[in-house]
Structure 1
Amino acid sequence: MLTKLGWKLLLLSRALWMRTLAFAILAVVTALMAIALKGVIPASIAGFIGAEAVDKILSILASSMLAVTTFSLSVMVSAHGAAANNLTPRATRLMMEDATTLNALATFVGSFVFSLVGIIALSTGLYGEQGRVVLFIVTIAVVVLIVGTILLWINHLARLSRVSEIAERVEDAASAAIVRRGKHPWLDANRLDTLDDIPSGSYSITASGIGYIQHIDIQALNHWATENDAKLYVTCLPGSFVHPSRAILYCSQKCDEQACQTLQNAITLGDTRSFDQDPRFGLLVMAEIASRALSPGINDPGTAIEILGRGVRLISQWQVTPDDISDFDIPYPNVWVSRIEIEELFVDFFSPITRDGAAFIEVQIRLQKSLAALSAVDGNFHAPALQMAQTALARAEQSLTFAPELASLKEVHQRLFS
């Protein structure tokens, strides 16, 4: 699992300003490299055809890239606003981290900076005749890069704010978190089945603030526990809402103020939940998309049915940990972590849809079929699937006013779960 530093660097790499800054620095270095390389250009080809036109090319790039960047930013903001209004604001975070969008904007800004630096250096006479040749070659390469980026960006704009595109991004993020948790069910620590398994006499350590747990640095916790000959029991998983009165972990020995602060710093809190270590969050966002589609203002049961299919695909990837865990590698033996229960996944995803889709017969039938499919995929899913199917049927009985529709739904439920 990623350490806190590694996770922070990962978040930094997804930030628009960071990628743009990196491209801008690269552009400056590239423009100035022509000055350093001018000595390798023979004087005989200093008058290379086209080199004199580099001034005009750079001027065109400088003006056009500024306009393209402004246009791209306006399109991105409009797409994010549409996604927040029509789907869910939680999905916009994934759109803001979209690699194609980040690379396109960074390329446009970097090209603009490259053009400015080139124009300034040319006006000072730093390049000379040989340097102009190098700058001309680099400028042609930049133009090719811009053309390729624009073509990709245009294709990307055509599907930037589509419901299916955003739902696919959420599914990919949730799937990655689910698969990752399946490989590391206790974040590479020992299994803590229930709070009753925590030895009596252990000392509780509360949260340092109020917010959601976004990341747990198990390596840092294990390092401290190893150095202090202690055992740590983490009771709050990523995604949990905590406050200074809630214990986030227990320690086998009493900790002083400095030790408590060290352990608290290993658990990162934030205002919102994160997809990386929180598989349940992805399912919640998927359910929000379906709920918004079922709202009276949108009234799009087809999207809810599509989301049900994606939810089945996600939950079916969940790996139920066996009772025998001898095959699991435990890199951090001095830490114990509680697990995510299967029932929690079903409640997170299906409960909002059963509530908001209770009056839609087509959604209710697909809901029963989705739960039956999960029950057939893995026997461990049968009990929570049956309970959720019965809950959905009970809600539908209170919302469906047309008797034949209700009778048809009961027949489907009986046939699938008898």
Structure 2
Amino acid sequence: MAVIDRLKFISRRLGERLWLRPLVFCMLSIAAVFIAKAADSMNLGWSIPSINTESVEALLEIMAASMLVIATFAVGSMISAYASASTSATPRSFTLIIADDVSKNALSIFIGSFIFSIFALTAAKNDIFREPGLAALFVLTVFVFGVVIITFVRWVDTIARLGRVGASVEKVEAATTAAMKLRRKAPAFGGIPTESRHMQRTAVYAATVGYLQHIDIETLQAWAETVNVRIVVAALPGTFADPGRALAYVTHDTASTAELDLKAVTDAFVIGTERLFEEDPRFGLVTLSEIADRALSSGVNDPGTAITIIGSLVRLFVLWAEPTEDLQAPKCDRVEVPLLSTRDMFDDAFTAMARDGAGTVEVMLRLQKAFKALSCLGDSAMREAAVAHSRMALARAEKKLELPEDLALVREAAAFSSTNTHMDDAIATK
């Protein structure tokens, strides 16, 4: 299971590469020509129509001449869209933009069609095909033409939206939603929440510098069972790891762990040069916050985008607060993993917006309404975080808003935080 988990992680990383899918389509294009040749060995008899060789060659020449131009145009358009997304939104959204399936499929089909036309044209001009193979090649060529036309029309619609801020926000929100759903099903990645009280423990430090991208919990469980210890994970995906940062602690009730080979523990932590969205919901919140913060800068001055992102953040936190019905039972009882802190997630999502939008009344009003909505979800940790951030946002607004009427509106919207504070004091007194 540990090997399968690692292979899945590697396959997902390969799937994000732009070159992989075009390579697969090129191989399929070459295979299609061999499939057409295989039709020559079939006894199809009178059912094969008579196809003129010149007509097939003409179609293939048109395809060969146009597909390379279209593929070059596609690459240029994609690069422009990627650059626009990085500058108008945030560079952190680049990995999601480049992973767009429609664009990758379009580029792959254009390049694959070019390879198919060149390979098939060479075979046809050298009289490789008899009548059945030529008929099969004609059908395949028409089919490829149809796929190219449909793909091009669909791709033009997608590429026109790809570099827009709205498209970037949608992709980041979708990636964060997926990460949150994954974490809600397995809050401790299949381990158990941190509860260790062991006195003897040995720290395991990172061997490289970078961001923690993945933790192979099943490998840790297998090693812990073999040497009869417990492992307390000290760093979650998204943590910046360095040689002085403990990734985990190996603990034992009675014996020392000084003689253990800890390399297996270190190898279970995958460290890379950048954060990934897949297992790190906080990275999605940070990215959305960066997009909103850039929109609030004096050079852009787009509070509407910030308000849109506040709506996205409310949806995400509502999802996070929902009760989980398909919660997975812990499978790795020797590995303890800390749970995500709701307060830390609020800090990632709202601190920058509240700081840089403090002088914009419409943003402050929307923020206070968001905090009020989140405080009513029935989650005590979320209510405490919402109240605390509401009070901090109000304090910032009081320093930046100059018009008394604007400040009065924000104070009125933030009145719920004072009510919640009084309720908490009353509960504590009882």
TM norm structure 2: 0.91
Q: Residue 207 in 1 paired to residue 209 in 2?
A: no
TM-superposed deviation, 1:87: 0.9
TM-superposed deviation, 1:377: 1.7
1:309-331 CA-partner distances (Å, limit 9, x unpaired): 00000011114899xxxx75111
State the partner residue of 1:23: 25
1:389-410 CA-partner distances (Å, limit 9, x unpaired): 0100111111112222112211
Range with greater deviation from structure 2 (104-113 or 246-255) = 246-255
State the partner residue of 1:351: 351
State the partner residue of 1:36: 38
State the partner residue of 2:178: 176
* Alignment-mate amino acid for residue 82 of structure 1: S
Q: Distance in 2 between matches of 1:316 and 1:414?
A: 21
TM-superposed deviation, 1:229: 2.1
* Alignment-mate amino acid for residue 168 of structure 1: E
Q: 1:248 to 1:415 in 2, by over 3 A?
A: closer
State the partner residue of 1:14: 16
Query: CA RMSD, aligned part only?
Result: 2.0
Q: Residue 122 in 1 paired to residue 121 in 2?
A: no
* Alignment-mate amino acid for residue 157 of structure 1: I
State the partner residue of 2:401: 400
Match of 2:149, SS state, is helix
Contact 1:315 1:345 in 2 (8 A): no
Q: Distance in 1 between matches of 2:43 and 2:397?
A: 79
Give runs of aligned pairs for residues 37-186 of structure 1, distance below 5 A.
37-40=39-42, 42=44, 44=46, 48-49=50-51, 52-186=54-188
State the partner residue of 1:317: 319
Q: 1:341 to 1:321 in 2, by over 3 A?
A: farther
TM-superposed deviation, 1:416: 6.3
TM-superposed deviation, 1:116: 1.1
1:60-79 CA-partner distances (Å, limit 9, x unpaired): 11111111111111111111
State the partner residue of 1:337: 337
Match of 1:37, SS state, is helix
State the partner residue of 2:240: 241
Q: 1:145 to 1:389 in 2, by over 3 A?
A: same
Q: Distance in 2 between matches of 1:341 and 1:240?
A: 14
Stretches of structure 2 lacking an aligned partner (at least 5 in a row): 420-430
1:154-191 CA-partner distances (Å, limit 9, x unpaired): 22123212222111110000000011101100001011
TM-superposed deviation, 1:140: 1.1
Q: Distance in 1 between matches of 2:364 and 2:47?
A: 75
Match of 2:249, SS state, is strand
State the partner residue of 2:368: 368
* Alignment-mate amino acid for residue 40 of structure 1: M
1:90-112 CA-partner distances (Å, limit 9, x unpaired): 11110101111111111111111
Stretches of structure 1 lacking an aligned partner (at least 5 in a row): none
Q: Distance in 1 between matches of 2:124 and 2:226?
A: 60
Contact 2:96 2:171 in 1 (8 A): yes
TM-superposed deviation, 1:378: 2.7
Range with greater deviation from structure 2 (69-78 or 123-132) = 123-132
Match of 2:214, SS state, is strand
Contact 1:3 1:220 in 2 (8 A): no
1:8-64 CA-partner distances (Å, limit 9, x unpaired): 111212221111111111111111211122122646566624554111111111111
Q: 1:256 to 1:269 in 2, by over 3 A?
A: farther
Q: Distance in 2 between matches of 1:409 and 1:138?
A: 65
Percent identity over paired residues: 35
1:200-223 CA-partner distances (Å, limit 9, x unpaired): 111111001111101111111112
Contact 2:238 2:276 in 1 (8 A): yes
Q: Distance in 1 between matches of 2:399 and 2:66?
A: 60
State the partner residue of 2:223: 224
Contact 1:4 1:215 in 2 (8 A): no
Q: Distance in 2 between matches of 1:51 and 1:351?
A: 68
* Alignment-mate amino acid for residue 341 of structure 1: S
Match of 2:247, SS state, is strand
State the partner residue of 2:189: 187
Match of 1:202, SS state, is strand
Q: Distance in 2 between matches of 1:348 and 1:268?
A: 23
State the partner residue of 1:409: 410
